[in-house]
Structure formats: structure tokens, C-alpha cells
Structure 1
Amino acid sequence: MTPDVFAPATLGPVRLRNRTVKAATFEGRAPHGQVTDGLIDYHRAVADGGVGLTTVAYLAVAPEGRTHREQIVVGEDTLPGLARLADAIHASGAAIAGQVGHAGPVANGRSNGVRALSASRMPSPLSMQMVGAATEADLARITGQYVATARTLVRAGFDVLELHMAHSYLVSSFLAPGLNRRKDRWGGPLENRARLARQVARAVRDEVGDEVAVTAKVSVGDGFRGGVTTDEGIALARLLEADGTVDALQLSGGSSLMNPMYLFRGGAPVKEFAAAMPLPVRVGMRTVGRSFLKEYPFEEAYFREKALRFREAVGLPLMLLGGINRRDTMEQAMADGFEFVAMGRALLREPDLVNRLAARSADGGVCIHCNRCMPTIYTGTRCPVIAEGALGAGGVGR
């Protein structure tokens, strides 16, 4: 029997009021690396709007693991704010997830004041510095920091820990053969390249047991030569399933470093990104922006075909992500055998969309997929169309 996407469901040990997930998208509301009222309001809006699980984005496990300095590093000093955030979401009837990660080569070392790390040494287009190759000592330290972060988030009252294994972040940089040129036990065949992903997942699961759900964000394809392919993503999913360390997988794609628009699809906001960047990155963005921000046409549920291959390959619960805006798309995902649907831009435009879809007062969202929300991450992620007073602009591109 096909499940009702708006009916209660379980994710590991966690009971959710429905099968909808607010995907992690950086909120830009932690200017001093602390939870703010603005960050709480951002997530409370989608919780009040009916989502089953909202995900706090990019909770870094280490200072050099931030994408840039205005990001939360989980620890004793951020615990009170994280607990306040969790309490607010629970009061709205939703559950809360924390996306736990280390940005690896996606980190801006110049902004952070700490050298970024990757599987292999490489130049950073973000900081114009060299990114260092993580040492054995680095990997042991970072694995321990994942464990400490997991325990702190459990203490804060979080329900779900999402381990970030995609988008060319640290774990993903090890998985991608084009970024991982190591000759040691961390490089070469996929079994070696997946070692860090499995090590982190095992360490976190051993720490938290069944106190919370543990999920992983994995790639259905990175969208660049040398990135994680669909076949490799499936192989990783099988390894994680065999290890018994995660309760579900969220299926994403693209690379924040090499091909970000492969994830987002729709308009490529080169002009807006350039305006938001500091010099000299602004000049570079204006010069090569079109080659970096490639434009892919938007289509509803654009990762579905690749995700169906994961569905055939593993028995783990799966979260379908990528251009989900309509009730019929969500129902099709359930019919396809996916257990959850994850939404991002649609909820940024309309935080109450889940409630309206459930009540059948709307068939779909009105996001036009212009992606001009992307550059706003530096000043507080928001929908510029709303700011322009065009909330009723219609459903172009739905």
C-alpha cells in the first residue's frame, strides 16, 4: 500500500508527523557563529507551516570545517542556542535535524583564518589559497570531532543527525577520484575512498546508538569529470547499508566547488553572485561565472531517474530531493518507493506550503526557480521575489 506523504511516519527511532523534510540550505543567520532569533524564526516558519522535519544547515564539526566564518561550530559555547532552537521547533510540532559536516575544500580558509583541508592538495577558487591534504592525524581528529558534535546535538535535543557526504565537502572529496589522488589507504579504489565516510558513520552511530536517527546525504552524481558517479554513489549506499550505521539516505547531487547548478537547476544568477562577492572574487565571477554556474533547465523531481536506481539497489529508507514542488510529485515519490521527500527552494518561497498541500488548498508551489535566492546566503537567505512584492507572480517553471 502506498503511504500517505502527509501521514505520520518513523525515521529510525524518531516519530515524524509526516514524510516531508525541509532540506538543509544555508540560512545566513549566524553572523557570529551563534544561533540567533533570526535563525530560530527561519526554521519555526517551516515548522509552523507543516513540515515534518526541518534541517539546520552546515553545523561544522571543526573551525576549518566551516564554509566561511559566519557559521556555527558545534561545541559547548553554541549548545545553549542550539537547545533553544530545538525547543522552538518541537513547540511547533516538527522534528529537527542537524546537518553535521566538514566543508573540506569548500571551506574558505581566508575567511575562517584556518587552512582548509581536502583529500589531496589543491588550489582553492574561494580563498585563492592552497588547500592542504588531510593527514592521518587530521582524519583521526576530525572523526573524533564528528563524535563530539553528535553528542552535543543529542544534548541539545536534536532528533536527527544528517552526515554530509556530498557536494565536494571533506567526505565527498575523498569519494571523488578527481579530487582524491592519494596513494595511501585513503585513495585508489572506492573501498579506500569510502573509508572516511564509513569511519565517520560508524563512530557517530556507536556514540549515539538509537537515541536519535542518523542519516547521510549522498550524491546521485556530482556533475563533473572526476566527481562521484551514480554507480559510485550506489556502491557507497550499499556499503553504508551493510554497515548498519544509518537509518536513511538523502539523495542529492552536484558539487558546491565544481558544479553547484547541477544541484539547483533553473536560472544561473551570475550577476547577483558577482555583486555579493568581495574583490577579487567578484571580478573572477564576472569573467568566468557562466562557465562555473552552468545553466540546467528545471524540471520537476529532476533527480528521480537516478534516485530510482538507488531505490532498486538498497533497502534503506530514501529521501527524494531535487525540484519537488507539487503534491502529485510527492505522491509519485511514495508510489516509487521513496519514504520521504525533501524540499528546499519551494519552502523558502512559501514556508506554509506543506500545510496548504495537505489541505488541498494548493496543488503546488509558486517558486519560479530563478535561483536568485542563492547569493542571499551572505546576508540572510531569502526569496528576492517575495522582497520585490511579487508573491503572487504565478507558477512559472513549476
Structure 2
Amino acid sequence: MDASDVPDVLAPARLGPVTLRNRIIKSATFEHMSPGALVGDALIEFHRRVAAGGVGMTTVAYCAVAPEGRTEADQLWMRPEAVPGLHRLTDAVHTRGAAVSAQIGHAGPVANAKSTGHRSLSASRRIAPIGPTLVHAATAADIARIRGAHGAAARYAIESGFDAVEIHFGHNYFASSFLSPVLNRRRDAYGGSLRNRARVVRETAAEVRAAVGDRIAVLAKLNMDDGVPGGFWLDEAIQVAKWLEEDGNLDALELTVGSSLMNPMYLFKGDAPIDEFGATMSPFMRWGVKMFGRFFLRSYPYQDLFMLDAARQIRANVDMPLVLLGGITDKPGMDRAMAEGFEFVAMARALLREPDLINRIDADHSAKSLCIHCNKCMPTIFYDTHCVLAKPEPRAGDPIVTGHR
């Protein structure tokens, strides 16, 4: 790409029918701020701060499409009762000048059935690592119901004032479990060949597009690599990306890696916070994490733009807009993503540390993120997602303390 053709990451850009004020997206990070599976004031404040901090669009995670599609009982579930709270959230974001996306999906085998009170579903039957409990193989009727639930969730998103939806096809959640040869041992039309294993993903994208038309943008989050031996790998991801482009149901594809079910640190890179994870659990589970956590929470070296090499190979094979995620912490990294042909960049941990990072970068292009990739924010998803090193921000309802400083 010629230097004169490289877009300015801080300038407005089109995403389907939506114009964003810049090309920077706050990636989805489960907030655990939705008591009763409804929007809480803290969730609104969380996204208001990110919007005020300068991003083009923030992503609300994780908006389950069905009650059994939640990872745990207090995860947001898209239904009529959720709409008023979601509308308050989108209004708060829009007031600060940003767009807002709802990440919709179904947790599949990652769901904690003991917490949700519903059966967990996957491409094939298996024992869940949490519990342990049985994960049931989805029937054809289950697949059709969940596909329809994605369309309904997208309609609720429109009713709630969202500018976009992002369909979750990654991390070995429901749709991703069908893509994975390790998790999908079916012998019907949804198993075996890659074309069959990709049917859930393609049919779901079509369902969502049919539900929303061109009223809002439709993105999807797709694994490039599960990080699991014998799992979904880059060569297959390239083909699935090609099919999704041919189908024409998406405005952009956000690229990701890793398995929340079997290898979560593969997504994050950096330190594995084993002790911190253990501290959130019962004494028995804490002992198990201490003894065996290093086999599940493996450490991978962190480097900036750590998904770029794999994402380049997707970029070389499709023309549709792509969102680059992974280790984007400063303006030079964003500029490199633009020069490599990506239309948008997504950030997560850096914005947990500094919700106003984009405003700082806009004011000073040499500004650096304070995030040290310790990953101690990861265990906080069980109670209140935040950076443990950041100065606490006042929350809605907190008492106001006055006086000299």
C-alpha cells in the first residue's frame, strides 16, 4: 500500500451503514456488571468512560442470545426485559460521541450449567471442565433455535439503540465448537468436512443480516487458531473467511485466537495470573488451580501486534474490512496496522488500564499505554472487570467526597 493511501486511524471511517469518529474499537471484555442478567449502572459507567475516552466504537460483552448461552447466571441475556437498560447504555455512549456494538453469541460448552440452571450445548457431547458437568450435543432443533435467537438478539439490539452487532464465532463458544475438529465429532450435515463444520457460522451470519438489513453494521469475531492440538487452524480459517466474504452478510471481520474452554492464555499472551485466578474460587478449586493451573493457564510471550503475522494471511485472501486485535497499544502500532491493509484496530487491556488512552494519543502521538500485560485483569471478570493497577474511578451512586487535595 502506497503511503499516501494509508488511512488515518484517528479520522472518521465508515463501517457498513455507520460512520465512526475514528478507526479504533474497544474490543469486547466480559464486564460482570449485569446483575440478574440485566444492565447495571456500573456497566453503563464502564462504557461511558471508554466512549468519553475517545474510541470510535465500544463493544458490550457478552450479550447471550439464550438463557443457556450465558457463561454464568448474571451474564446479560438479550430479551425484552433487557431493552430499557440497554437503551440507557447506548444513550450514555452516544452522548459521548462514540458508537456502540453489542457482541451477541452463545457460550456453548463454555457455559457453566450449574450457574445458569440450563443444559450446556456444544457440537458434540463432552465433559465440561467446570463442575464437572455433561455438555450435551446440540440437536438439529437446538441449532435452528439458537440460529433464530441470534436474529432476535440483533433485533433487540436495534430496539435498544445499538449501531452494530458483533457475532461471536470464536474461542470455542457454540459456533466455534462446530468449527473445531477436536470438539466437533458429528456425522450429520454439521460435522466432518470443513464446509459442513462451517454451516453454523454461515447460517448464523445470514440469519442476523436478514434480521437487521442495512439498519446497523454486522461484524463477526472469528478464530484464526484455537491454540489446541488438532483444533481449528489458520488454513481452515482462511477458507471460512473467504466463504463469509462470498456470502456478503458481514460488514467486517474481527480476527482472534484461543480457546476459553481449553487454552485461554493463547489469546492474551503475557503472564498467567494463576494465583489470582485461584483466589476467586472455593478452597478446593483453589488447590486444584495451584496444582494444575499451569497446564490450563499456559504462559506465552507478549509482543506488540502479536496477531499480525496470522492476520496478514487472512488479509491476503479476502477484500472485506478486517479488524486487527492483539497488542495494539500506541499510535505507531495502529499506523502499522493501517499500512498492512487493516481497516480498523481493536483494543481491550490497554483501555481497561486507561479508558482515556485514545484521547491521550490524539493529543500526543508519542503517548504510550501504561498496560504491562500482567493479565491480572483477567480474574476480575468473575466479580467486576477492571485493571488492578489503575486508580479506581468513581462509580454511579458512589458518595462524592469534597475537600482540598
Same fold (TM over 0.5): yes
Deviation at 1:363, TM superposition (A): 2.5
TM-score of the pair, normalised by structure 2: 0.94
Residue of structure 2 in register with 1:358 after alignment = 362
2:229 is equivalent to residue 225 of structure 1: yes
**2:199 paired residue number:** 195
Matched, 1:36 2:40: yes
CA distance in 2 between partners of 1:178 and 1:211 (Å): 37
Match of 2:342 among 335, 338, 341: 338
Verify: 1:275 aligned to 2:261, yes or no: no
Instruction: Compute the displacement of 1:226 (Å).
Output: 2.5
Match of 2:77 among 70, 73, 88: 73
* Aligned ranges 1:273-312 → 2 under 5 Å: 273-312=277-316
Deviation at 1:353, TM superposition (A): 0.4
Q: CA deviation at 1:228?
A: 1.2
Q: How far is 1:329 from its partner?
A: 0.4
- The one-letter code matched in structure 2 to 1:31 is P
For 1:151, the equivalent position in structure 2 comes to 155
* Corresponding position: 1:175 with 2:183: no
Q: Deviations over 1:209-243 (max 9, x none)?
A: 10000010001211111221011111111010000
User: Pick from 370, 377, 380: which aligns with 1:376?
Assistant: 380
Aligned match of 1:97 in 101, 106, 114? 101
Work out which of the residue numbers 118, 128, 131 in structure 2 matches 1:127.
131
Task: Tell me how far apart the structure 2 counterparts of residues 61 and 278 of structure 1 sit (CA, whole Å).
Answer: 29
Match of 2:219 among 191, 215, 220: 215
Q: What's the offset of the Cα at 1:280?
A: 3.9
Q: 1:247 is matched with which residue?
A: 251
Of residues 378, 386, 389, the one that matches 2:390 is 386
**Are the equivalent residues in 1 in contact too, given 2:278–2:290 (CA < 8 A)?**
yes
Conserved 8 A contact 1:126-1:281: no
Amino acid of the structure 2 residue aligned with 1:182: R
Matching residue of 2:266: 262
Instruction: Give the 3-state SS of the residue equivalent to 1:98 in structure 2.
Output: strand
The reply on whether 1:53 has 2:62 as its aligned counterpart is no
- How many angstroms apart in 1 are the aligned matches of 2:368 and 2:57? 19
- Paired with 1:134 and 1:178, the residues of 2 have a C-alpha distance of 16
1:60-102 deviations in Å (ceiling 9; x for gaps): 0001100111101100010100111011100000000000000
Aligned counterpart for 1:163 among listed residues 154, 162, 167 = 167
Q: 1:12 aligns with which of 10, 16, 25?
A: 16
Residue aligned with 1:177, SS: coil
SS across alignment from 2:359:
helix
Give the SS at the match of 2:37. coil
How far apart are 1:279 and its partner, in Å?
5.0
Deviation at 1:385, TM superposition (A): 1.1
**Which among 340, 352, 358 is matched to residue 348 of structure 1?**
352
What is the aligned length? 389
The one-letter amino acid of 2:273's match is: P
Separation of aligned partners in 2, 1:155 and 1:68: 25
What is the CA RMSD across the aligned residues, in angstroms? 1.2
Of 218-227 and 154-163, deviating more is 218-227
What's the offset of the Cα at 1:194?
0.3
Gaps of 5+ in 1: 390-398
Name the structure 2 match of 1:26: 30
The residue type equivalent to 2:231 in the other structure is G
Equivalent residue in structure 1 for 2:145, among 118, 141, 161? 141
The DSSP-based 3-state class of the residue aligned with 1:207 is helix
Q: Which amino acid aligns with 1:141?
A: R
Aligned equivalents of 2:392, 2:152: Cα separation in 1: 43
Partner Cα separation in structure 1 for residue 73 and residue 283 of structure 2: 17
1:396 counterpart residue number: none
* Residues 304-344 of structure 1 deviation map (CA, whole Å, 9 limit, x = unaligned): 00000011000010000001101100000000000000000
1:262 corresponds to which letter in structure 2?
Answer: Y
Q: Secondary structure at the match of 1:366?
A: coil
- The answer on whether the counterparts of 2:39 and 2:85 sit within 8 Å (CA) in structure 1 is yes
Distance 1:323 1:256 in 2: 18
Structure 1 residue 254: Cα displacement: 0.5
For 2:131 and 2:248, the matched residues in 1 are separated by 38
Any idea what SS the aligned residue of 1:226 has?
Answer: coil
- The two structures have a TM-score, normalised by structure 1, of 0.96
Structure 1 match to 2:400: none
